[in-house]
Structure 1
Amino acid sequence: MNKLSRLSLATILMATTSQAALALEATDFADRLVETSKLMGVSFAYGSATAEGDTVTITDFVISTPGQDDIEVPGDVVFTGVVETAEGGFSAERASIADFEYTDEDEGFSVSFVDIAAEGILLPADAGIDSVIEIGFNLYDRISAGPLTVSDETGTELFAVDLMEITMEEPTADGGLSSAYQVTGIRGDLSAIEEAEAQEVFEAFGLTQLNASMSGSGTWWPETGEGEVTDISLAVQDLGSLSLDFAVAGYTEEIYRELMKVNLKMAEMAEADIEIDEDQMAEMSEAMLEKMADLKLVGGALRYDDDSLFMKVLDFIGAEQGVDGETFKAGLQFMVPMALAEVENEAFKTMVTSAVNTFIADPQNFTISVEPEEPIAFSEFEGMETEVEADPFVLVDLLNVQITANQ
């Protein structure tokens, strides 16, 4: 064999070996993704995985969840910037799927869902339950999707969302693990709703299009078991917004692991194609609730900020009764003390009357909060039905309910 032939053979062998290694690495990456995702309660299956440079392409990607139909991801799932970590896991800069386009000619609408991606992906060397906290909060940095658009047969937009996003933040200095979400640019063409009664309300409120957004964030401190959810909000332009905040204690690392074990079991059942009926789903849900029975409520608040909705409602109701909104408002303020006449808790009655009438007179914001003296385990509420039926203010006192307006 001459030197040229030997060189050619060596080149072919090297190329073949390299391609085999890349294929094996791609399969390892895909398999690791499948195993890791089970801890989140999701089962993945795929047809093949191939690598070209630091790009891994997975075909025939299917998502399975217990009790639900399988979801076949259109096109390929492409991971870019894939490298093996020093610990034996994998990281990827980005994962994306093909844009989704669907048209139903019979119903006369089309759906477009684009730019679906995840960034900062990290797959561990060992996807075990013992390291599930690290896995869960390091699996990705950001998931985003959108715009999502629904349009009619003429191409007129009926409903749309500009962006849906979930982000995982770097751990705080005190060990807190934080995440946040936002859904922006929610809008809907209200003129497309054909019900006459609905159109009557929209016209009275001066609405032709819905514009809204949603957001929220939370932090968990595994070492102490404390957690807080801040500003879970829904804001509707020119109407108002609702926001929720609450804090809990007792959400320990052990509880988190136990919940992930339930997730893992559900994913394994989905992977094995085991049918799950409603009773089994109820049992699993009950099991998860039982594990969280000793979770304690530290405090919380539900707040409404008005942006003209209140007066629009009064104008609408008043018109049905033949009066304007301001006249109806005056009558409403007069009715508040009467509505609370049978309340025996004088301090609570005074607080509610003051807050409600303050808001009615100048609708800015209204807040209902709970501020118990000590954190209360949710299990304490079990068995209180009879006591609460006899005296509903047992809960008011236990939770130290506070009602305020325009603060």
Structure 2
Amino acid sequence: MHIRSTRFLFAGTALWLAASPAFALDGNDLVKKLTAGFNLQEGDIAVGSIDVNGSTVTLKGMSVGKAGATPDARVKLGDVTLNGVEEDDAGGYTIEKASFQDINLTEDKTTLTAKDMYLTGLYIPGDVNGDTIDSLLTYEEGHSGPMTVSVEGKQVLGIRETSFSMERTEDDSTLSFDGTIDGVSVDLTTIDDPKSKETIESLGLTKIDGNISMVGSWEIDSGTISMTEYAFDFANIGRLNIEASVSGYTMQFLKSLRETTKAMEQTENKEAAQQAAGLAMLGLLQQLSFNSAKISFDDDGITKRSLNYAGKTQGVSGEQMAMMLKGMAPLMMAQLNMPALQNSVSAAINTFLNNPRNFTIAAEPKAPVPLPMIIGAAQAAPNTLPDMLGVSVAANR
């Protein structure tokens, strides 16, 4: 009987501990590590109270801003509900879904609204000073539904949906990311300045509709960040896409960057802190190298309208304005003293202005170029940069 009673006692105690949220999760510790994960200082994220109920944590009256700032200077997020919260052996937290309240903020004559905001697969590191990907705050998806900005009751900016995602490879060697901002609409008819209004109407930009997208990856060991797509695609304007790749952005680099930023913020003498931070940043730049970059533009009518408007202001036609630009291009390039690039730029401009389709500027050096070398060349001999970076210009390809 004694042994049986003891077993019942231990079993009952175990069940009570498992069901008790006070022992299962520490809400204050979660907020502290959430703050560190976002590379913020303690107190930058503040909550009115923390409600822990099993694996659900509700951060009530959450706000973000500098510690000690007045309530009006902080961004109020309301109640944030964290579902499926679990603490791992390393002191970090995994969260199935973090849900935010709808936003409806009005300041002066401007109103901001946003709905259906959440993060899924959120991971909060137990220690942000580690050397692995587990010391980074990551998430699987960040989402927002409709967002609007209105001035005096009239909508000037709208976004149908925003979605960003991250994915870690099984061996934790690469972190891939992509994002889309769909259904971007901008209404510029509310601009009152007569000259600006005339320009906008002449260019056909009173209503702007389009999307923004981003795709890239980060190789942890080499620190290579590759942005394969960062595109702004708007109807009746065109598609501008930016690609870039740099290496050396390793976990050690990120750790040093965090330490430098933290030291600067904690130093009372801000002028001295900025000077020290500037020197530290120059040292950090030694670790980064430029791999490649490309800027491309696919025209959807904006070039012709721009030529017509520019020609109108000069008292000539759009075709005549194009001819003037073709003649000016070689003269402007000659002043830059870049003979290797002068002919290709002039040829590309002529081709594009004759039939605006696409225009591309690429920089593809034979080998990665350290950033300090680029900065030094830009200051001492900028005309050597095209050869150093392998710059090329092309149109309608």
The offset of 1:284, in angstroms, is 3.8
Identical columns (%): 28
Task: Find 2:371's aligned residue among 375, 378, 402.
Answer: 378
365-374 vs 156-165, which deviates more? 156-165
**2:147 alignment partner in structure 1:** 148
Mapped contact 1:23–1:49 kept (Cα < 8 A) = no
SS at match of 1:82: strand
Output the amino acid matched with 2:385.
L
SS at match of 1:42: coil
**1:401 alignment partner in structure 2:** 391
The offset of 1:197, in angstroms, is 0.8
1:29 to 1:172, Cα distance in 2 relative to 1, 3 A: same
The offset of 1:396, in angstroms, is 1.6
Task: Find 2:85's aligned residue among 67, 82, 90.
Answer: 82
Output the amino acid matched with 1:381.
I
**2:178 alignment partner in structure 1:** 180
Q: Which has the higher contact order (CA 8 A, sep 6+)?
A: 1
**1:134 alignment partner in structure 2:** 134
The offset of 1:194, in angstroms, is 0.6
Mapped contact 1:40–1:264 kept (Cα < 8 A) = no
112-121 vs 40-49, which deviates more? 40-49
User: How many Å separate the matches in 1 of 2:323 and 2:196?
Assistant: 27
Output the amino acid matched with 1:31.
D
Output the amino acid matched with 1:133.
I
User: How many Å separate the matches in 1 of 2:269 and 2:39?
Assistant: 14
Mapped contact 1:295–1:378 kept (Cα < 8 A) = yes
Task: Find 1:96's aligned residue among 89, 96, 99.
Answer: 99
**1:5 alignment partner in structure 2:** none
Mapped contact 1:36–1:127 kept (Cα < 8 A) = no
48-57 vs 295-304, which deviates more? 48-57
- TM-score of the aligned structures, taking structure 2 as reference length: 0.83
User: How many Å separate the matches in 2 of 1:66 and 1:263?
Assistant: 16
1:53 to 1:35, Cα distance in 2 relative to 1, 3 A: closer
The offset of 1:363, in angstroms, is 1.0
- The answer on 1:207 being equivalent to 2:205 is yes
User: How many Å separate the matches in 2 of 1:63 and 1:220?
Assistant: 28
**1:160 alignment partner in structure 2:** 158
1:256 to 1:109, Cα distance in 2 relative to 1, 3 A: closer
SS at match of 1:374: coil
User: How many Å separate the matches in 2 of 1:196 and 1:67?
Assistant: 44
The offset of 1:304, in angstroms, is 1.9
**2:380 alignment partner in structure 1:** 387
Output the amino acid matched with 2:386.
V
**2:6 alignment partner in structure 1:** none
1:152 to 1:341, Cα distance in 2 relative to 1, 3 A: closer
SS at match of 1:304: strand
1:284 to 1:316, Cα distance in 2 relative to 1, 3 A: same
**2:250 alignment partner in structure 1:** 252
Mapped contact 1:60–1:72 kept (Cα < 8 A) = no
Mapping of 1:3-402 within 5 angstroms? 21-26=20-25, 28-43=26-41, 44-65=45-66, 71-85=74-88, 89-104=92-107, 107-124=108-125, 126-131=126-131, 133-136=133-136, 139-153=138-152, 155-171=153-169, 175-262=173-260, 269=266, 277=270, 280=273, 283-284=276-277, 287-341=280-334, 346-384=339-377, 387-388=380-381, 392-402=382-392
Q: Deviations over 1:183-227 (max 9, x none)?
A: 232222211111101110122123321224322222111223322
Question: Which ranges of structure 2 fall in alignment gaps of 5 or more residues?
Answer: 1-8
Output the amino acid matched with 1:249.
S
Output the amino acid matched with 2:143.
S
193-202 vs 173-182, which deviates more? 173-182
1:83 to 1:132, Cα distance in 2 relative to 1, 3 A: same
Aligned length: 382
Mapped contact 1:39–1:260 kept (Cα < 8 A) = no
SS at match of 1:317: helix
User: How many Å separate the matches in 1 of 2:378 and 2:221?
Assistant: 34
1:360 to 1:290, Cα distance in 2 relative to 1, 3 A: same
Mapped contact 1:33–1:123 kept (Cα < 8 A) = no
SS at match of 2:116: coil
The offset of 1:342, in angstroms, is 5.5
User: How many Å separate the matches in 2 of 1:37 and 1:221?
Assistant: 25
**1:7 alignment partner in structure 2:** none
User: How many Å separate the matches in 1 of 2:218 and 2:58?
Assistant: 34
80-89 vs 290-299, which deviates more? 80-89
The offset of 1:288, in angstroms, is 4.0
User: How many Å separate the matches in 1 of 2:275 and 2:242?
Assistant: 27
User: Alignment RMSD, CA only?
Assistant: 3.3
The offset of 1:128, in angstroms, is 4.5
The offset of 1:404, in angstroms, is 1.0
SS at match of 2:392: strand
User: How many Å separate the matches in 1 of 2:395 and 2:347?
Assistant: 8
User: How many Å separate the matches in 1 of 2:193 and 2:299?
Assistant: 27
Output the amino acid matched with 2:253.
I
SS at match of 1:73: strand
Mapped contact 2:231–2:242 kept (Cα < 8 A) = yes
User: How many Å separate the matches in 1 of 2:367 and 2:78?
Assistant: 53
SS at match of 1:357: helix
- TM-score of the aligned structures, taking structure 1 as reference length: 0.81
User: How many Å separate the matches in 1 of 2:213 and 2:69?
Assistant: 27
